[in-house]
């Protein structure tokens, strides 16, 4: 994508009513439509969605394919896609507006800051779909199922809240299971290293992102972990 196209999309994001952005990683502040400052921590359902429906996050959402798919499948829930890449968020937010999906929003921020923008117990579920596995051991703490990130999720999840990981990467899958086994406060609810080898246990696993379709075409198996924290 050319620099001009990226800049155009960044400018358009400012006008989207379903996108909120954090422009300075050192400051826990959000900007809403037209750059207006807004504080939604603890108030996402009431102030943005205008209801009291449960809230689900998709972290590292990319173009928001899973966010949009879940929102269509579960109109009685609210969904927020979270990513740092504005050009990717533009795609999902644009589609949501065109399709009239009022139960979808997007948050542009670094995921390590997630607890700054959601209140304790505000989030019911978290989806992590095909994240960067950070295979180098020196970057293990950047994996989205590392102890650091699990601690952040624990700060915002409601009681009985659930985290889902969907990945093609066997090392990330194994790392996640090891991390959960070492954390007495987590509960492994389900795991499978090849979800399509048998009937799917949860209907939302039918949704496939662009990257998942690409992985499947390459003959890779898709792994899934479901856990409570």
pLDDT in tens, the chain (229 residues): 555 577 788 788 889 999 999 988 788 899 998 889 999 999 999 999 999 999 999 999 999 999 999 999 999 999 999 999 998 999 999 999 999 999 999 999 999 999 999 999 999 999 999 999 999 999 999 999 999 999 999 999 999 999 999 999 999 999 999 999 999 999 999 999 999 999 999 999 999 998 899 999 999 999 999 999 9
User: Which pLDDT score, from 0 to 100, does residue 84 have?
Assistant: 94
Q: What is the pLDDT of residue 3?
A: 57
In the numeric block, the tokens 């995921």 are attached to: 111
Q: Which two tokens stand for residue 10?
A: 């960044």
Report the SS3 class of residue 151: helix
Joined together, the tokens standing for residue 97 give 């507006």
Please give the positions annotated as active site.
132
User: Residue 68: what pLDDT?
Assistant: 98
Q: What's the pLDDT score for residue 170?
A: 98
What does the pLDDT read at residue 4? 53
Residue 126: strand pairing partners: 57, 163
Determine the pLDDT at residue 144. 98
Residue 222 DSSP symbol:
P
In DSSP terms, which residues pair with 19 in a beta bridge?
106
The two structure tokens encoding residue 67? 């966010």
């Amino acid at each position: 994508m050319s620099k001009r196209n990226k800049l155009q999309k960044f400018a358009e994001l400012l006008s989207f009513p379903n996108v909120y952005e954090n422009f300075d990683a050192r400051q826990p502040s959000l900007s809403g439509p037209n750059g207006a400052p807004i504080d939604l921590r603890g108030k996402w359902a009431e102030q943005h969605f205008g209801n009291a429906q449960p809230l689900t996050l998709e972290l590292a959402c990319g173009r928001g394919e899973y966010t949009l798919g879940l929102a269509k499948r579960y109109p009685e829930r609210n969904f927020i896609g979270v990513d740092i890449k504005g050009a990717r968020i533009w795609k999902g937010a644009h589609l949501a507006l065109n399709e009239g999906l009022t139960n979808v929003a997007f948050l542009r921020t670094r995921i390590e800051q997630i607890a700054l923008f959601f209140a304790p117990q505000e989030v019911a579920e978290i989806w992590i779909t095909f994240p960067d596995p950070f295979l180098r051991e020196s970057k293990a703490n950047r994996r989205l199922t590392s102890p650091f990130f699990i601690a952040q999720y624990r700060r915002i999840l409601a009681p009985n809240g659930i985290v889902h990981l969907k990945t093609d990467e066997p090392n990330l899958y194994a790392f996640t299971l090891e991390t959960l086994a070492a954390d007495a406060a987590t509960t492994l609810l389900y795991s499978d290293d090849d979800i399509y080898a048998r009937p799917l246990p949860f209907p939302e696993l039918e949704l496939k992102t662009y990257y998942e379709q690409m992985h499947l075409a390459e003959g890779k198996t898709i792994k899934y972990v479901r856990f409570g924290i």
